[in-house]
Amino acid sequence: MSSQPNGAPTVVTGVIGSDTHIVGNRILSMSLEKAGYKVVALGALTPAAEFVKAAVETDADVILVSSLYGQGELDCRGFRELCVEAGLDDILLYVGGNLIVGKHPWETVERMFLDMGFDRAAAPGTRVETVLGWLAQDLAARRRAAQAAG
C-alpha cells in the first residue's frame, strides 16, 4: 500500500467515459478531502486510461469511478486489466452510480462489476458515509495484509 508521507491515502476520482454528470462526484471528492484523504479529482469525460495514469503518477491507493449515464458496463470493461498492466495490481477499485441502462436487480449489477475486478460497487443513492466506511475497512485490511506479509 502506498499512502503518502503524511499517512493520508491518495484517492483518484472522476466520471468515466462520455459522462458529464459531475455533481455527485464533486460532493464525494469534497467529503473525502474533509475525511483526510488526498484527492486527485479528474472531473468528467475521463477515459479509463486517464484514471490509471493518474493513479500511477500519484502513487494512489484507490480509484473511485463514477458513472451516471448508464454506460458504466461498457466504459469499465477491462479496467482492472489496465491497472494490472500499469503495475497497480493491488489498487482498490470502486465504482458507483447508475451503471447500466434499464432496471436490473442491484445484486446482478453489483456482481457484474465485482466480476470485472472492482472491489466495491455503489448503487445509486449510496451515502457518502457508506463509501467512507468501506474505504476505512478496505484500507485497514490492506494494511494488515501488508504487515503480515512483510
Q: Looking at the annotation, which residues are catalytic?
A: 19, 21
CB 70 within 8 A of CB 98: yes
Rounded-to-integer distance, Cα 134 and Cα 71, Å: 24
Compute the radius of gyration of the chain from its Cα atoms. 14
| Neighbour tally for 66: CB within 10 Å | 26
